[in-house]
Structure 1
Amino acid sequence: MSRHSPLFAALLLSAGMIAAGSVVVAAKLTALALPPFTAAALRYALAAAILLPWAWRRHGIPRLDRHDAVILLCQAALGSLGFSVLLLLGLRHGDAASASVAAGTLPLLVLAGSCLGQRRLPTPRLALASALAGLGVVAASHGGPVDPLIFAAIACEAAFVSLDRLMRQPPPPLTLSALLCLGGLLLTLPAALAEAWTPQSWPLSAWLALSWHGLVGTVLGFLCWYGGTARLGAGRAAPFTALFPITGIAAAPLVLDSPFALTTGLGGGLVVAGILLAAWPSKSTAVAPAAESV
Structure 2
Amino acid sequence: MNVTTTRGALLAAFACVLVGASFTANSVLGEYPYAGGQFLRYGLACLLLLPLAGKGSTARMRALAPRQWVRLILLAAIGMVGFNLAVIAAERTAEPAVPGVFVGCAPVVVAVLVPLLDGRGPRRAVLYGALLVAVGACAVQGWGRTDGAGLAFSVCALAGEVGFAVLAVPVLRPLGPRLLSATVCAVAALESAAVGVLVDGAGWLRRPDAAEAAALLWQAVVVTVVGFVCWYMGMQRIGAERATLFSGLIPVAAAGTAPLVGTGSYGLAQAAGSALVGLGVALGSGALNLTAASRRIGGRARRAAPAATFRGNDRPEWRGVRAPEMPE
Structure with higher RCO (Cα < 8 A, 6+ apart): 1
Residues 10, 109 of structure 1: alpha-carbon distance in 2 compared, 3 angstrom cutoff: closer
Q: How does 1:74-113 map to 2 (within 5 A)?
A: 74-90=74-90, 103-113=103-113
Q: C-alpha separation between the residues in 2 aligned to 1:7 and 1:142?
A: 31
Structure 2 residue aligned with 1:197: 202
| Structure 2 unaligned residues grouped into runs of 5+ | 290-328
Residue 172 (1) aligns with residue 176 (2) = yes
Q: C-alpha separation between the residues in 2 aligned to 1:114 and 1:245?
A: 23
State the aligned residue count: 276
Aligned residue among 265, 279, 290 for 1:273:
279
Q: How does 1:78-157 map to 2 (within 5 A)?
A: 78-90=78-90, 103-118=103-118, 122-142=122-142, 148=151, 149-157=153-161
Structure 2 residue aligned with 1:259: 265
Residues 160, 221 of structure 1: alpha-carbon distance in 2 compared, 3 angstrom cutoff: closer
Residue 58 (1) aligns with residue 55 (2) = yes
Give how far 1:66 is off: 1.2
The answer on whether the counterparts of 1:97 and 1:248 sit within 8 Å (CA) in structure 2 is: no
Structure 1 residue aligned with 2:298: none
The answer on whether the counterparts of 1:28 and 1:91 sit within 8 Å (CA) in structure 2 is: no
**Segment of structure 1 superposing worse, 42-51 or 137-146:** 137-146
Give how far 1:185 is off: 0.8
The answer on whether the counterparts of 2:133 and 2:276 sit within 8 Å (CA) in structure 1 is: yes
Task: Map Cα deviations across residues 169-198 of structure 1 (whole Å, 9 max, x no partner).
Answer: 631221111110011011110222352634
**Segment of structure 1 superposing worse, 144-153 or 267-276:** 144-153
Q: C-alpha separation between the residues in 1 aligned to 2:135 and 2:168?
A: 29
Task: Map Cα deviations across residues 198-249 of structure 1 (whole Å, 9 max, x no partner).
Answer: 498865433322221111001122344556678xx426x8476554332122
Residue 182 (1) aligns with residue 186 (2) = yes
Q: State, as a whole percentage, how many aligned pairs show the same letter.
A: 28
**Segment of structure 1 superposing worse, 86-95 or 61-70:** 86-95
Q: TM-score, normalised by structure 2?
A: 0.67
The answer on whether the counterparts of 2:171 and 2:180 sit within 8 Å (CA) in structure 1 is: no
Residues 273, 96 of structure 1: alpha-carbon distance in 2 compared, 3 angstrom cutoff: farther
Residues 52, 219 of structure 1: alpha-carbon distance in 2 compared, 3 angstrom cutoff: same
Structure 1 residue aligned with 2:37: 39
Structure 2 residue aligned with 1:26: 25
Equivalent residue letter for 2:83: F
Give how far 1:124 is off: 4.2
Structure 2 residue aligned with 1:70: 70
The answer on whether the counterparts of 1:136 and 1:269 sit within 8 Å (CA) in structure 2 is: yes
The answer on whether the counterparts of 1:105 and 1:271 sit within 8 Å (CA) in structure 2 is: no
When Rg is computed on C-alpha atoms for both structures, the one with the higher figure is 2
Residues 93, 41 of structure 1: alpha-carbon distance in 2 compared, 3 angstrom cutoff: farther
Structure 2 residue aligned with 1:48: 46
Residues 23, 248 of structure 1: alpha-carbon distance in 2 compared, 3 angstrom cutoff: same
Secondary structure of 2:252 counterpart: helix
Give how far 1:123 is off: 4.5
The answer on whether the counterparts of 1:94 and 1:145 sit within 8 Å (CA) in structure 2 is: yes
CA RMSD of aligned residues (A): 3.9
Structure 2 residue aligned with 1:218: 224
**Segment of structure 1 superposing worse, 94-103 or 32-41:** 94-103
**Segment of structure 1 superposing worse, 171-180 or 99-108:** 99-108
Give how far 1:86 is off: 1.9
Structure 2 residue aligned with 1:17: 16
Secondary structure of 1:260 counterpart: coil
Secondary structure of 1:81 counterpart: helix
Q: C-alpha separation between the residues in 2 aligned to 1:26 and 1:94?
A: 21
Aligned residue among 229, 234, 238 for 2:238:
234
| Structure 1 unaligned residues grouped into runs of 5+ | 284-294
**Segment of structure 1 superposing worse, 78-87 or 92-101:** 92-101
Equivalent residue letter for 2:180: L
Give how far 1:130 is off: 3.9
Give how far 1:268 is off: 3.7
Structure 2 residue aligned with 1:286: none
Q: C-alpha separation between the residues in 1 aligned to 2:141 and 2:172?
A: 40
